[in-house]
């Protein structure tokens, strides 16, 4: 198994450009998978995805040898979208407002994407890198917002951005039968805990 799959940098031995049809097919598969995961869950038969994408099973397995590879790719796409939303918010609002808005955006993402929570909690080692990816992509944005609020003395410096990120990711994962705003209220409570500067840790 090759150990270099980043592909972000052109090596000395120029690797051939990825064929355009292959790239197109990968996109089609990701789109189809996102749709099918949403309707039939992440355990949907592979054929359902390939049929929707108009491709053969072989193609699916060529690009995503493991099912977890496909799931990861779909989720990482969503995480990217969430991360991309951060700069705009930061530019348009004051830090504390931007933080709140962005946390709402994150909460919405986690709450909507069932497959995300499922993958995260599956215990499958294949998804071990996922929380790392979440941290890597979303950590910096949240970190800067958090630092600004802390510097202003509005928040106790008892949590890292990683703490908060994980806590939101967990709290906002939907549970069957619970009130829809449960996650949001619990996050608010958590932030109240951060604000209570008079309580000693």
Partner DNA sequence: TATAGTTCCGGAAAGAGATTCCGCTTCTCC
Partner DNA sequence: GGAGAAGCGGAATCTCTTTCCGGAACTATA
Nearest to 113 by CA among 101, 121, 123: 121
Task: With contacts defined by CB under 7 A, name the span among 40-48, 94-102, 128-136, 181-189 that binds DNA.
Answer: 40-48
Contact in structure between 180 and 158 (CB atoms under 8 Å):
no
The one segment of 12-20, 75-83, 112-120, 181-189 that binds DNA by CB under 7 A: 12-20
Residues 189, 168: Cα–Cα separation, whole Å: 11
Cα 24 to Cα 32: distance, rounded to the nearest angstrom:
12
Site map (CB under 7 A) of DNA, residues 46-85, x = contact: xx------xxxxxx-xxx-xxx------------------
Residue 122 and residue 66 in contact, taking contact as beta carbons nearer than 8 Å:
no
Nearer to a second copy by Cβ, of 52 and 194: the residue is 194
The interaxial angle of helices 128-151 and 95-112, nearest 10 deg, is 160
Scanning 17-25, 50-58, 66-74, 127-135 for contacts with a second copy by CB under 8 A, the matching segment is 127-135
CA–CA distance, 129 with 160 (Å, rounded to integer): 19
Reduced to 3 states, what is the DSSP secondary structure of residue 37? helix
Taking the least distance from each CB to DNA, the nearer of 63 and 156 is: 63
Q: Which of 2, 8, 20, 39 binds DNA (CB under 7 A)?
A: 20
Distance CA 131, CA 186 (A): 21
Q: Could you say whether residue 85 binds a second copy (CB under 8 A)?
A: no
User: Given the rule CB under 7 A, which residues bind DNA?
Assistant: 9, 16-22, 25, 43-47, 54-59, 61-63, 65-67
Binding site for a second copy (CB under 8 A): 41, 114-115, 117-118, 120-125, 127-128, 130-132, 158-159, 162-163, 166-167, 169-171, 173, 175-178, 182-183, 185-186, 189-196, 198-199
């Amino acid at each position: 198994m090759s150990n270099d799959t980043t592909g972000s940098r052109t090596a000395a031995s120029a690797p051939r450009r990825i064929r355009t049809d292959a790239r197109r097919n990968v996109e089609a598969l990701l789109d189809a998978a996102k749709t099918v995961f949403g309707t039939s869950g992440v355990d949907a038969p592979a054929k359902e995805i390939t049929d929707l994408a108009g491709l053969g099973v072989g193609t699916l397995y060529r690009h995503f040898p493991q099912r977890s590879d496909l799931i990861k790719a779909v989720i990482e796409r969503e995480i990217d979208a969430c991360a991309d939303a951060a700069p705009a918010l930061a530019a348009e609002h004051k830090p504390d407002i931007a933080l709140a808005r962005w946390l709402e955006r994150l909460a919405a993402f986690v709450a909507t994407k069932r497959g995300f929570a499922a993958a995260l909690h599956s215990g499958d080692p294949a998804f071990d890198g996922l929380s790392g990816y979440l941290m890597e992509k979303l950590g910096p944005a949240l970190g800067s917002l958090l630092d600004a609020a802390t510097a202003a003395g509005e928040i106790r410096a008892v949590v890292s951005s990683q703490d908060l990120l994980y806590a939101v990711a967990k709290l906002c994962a939907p549970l069957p039968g619970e009130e829809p705003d449960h996650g949001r209220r619990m996050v608010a409570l958590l932030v109240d805990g951060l604000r209570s500067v008079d309580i000693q840790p």
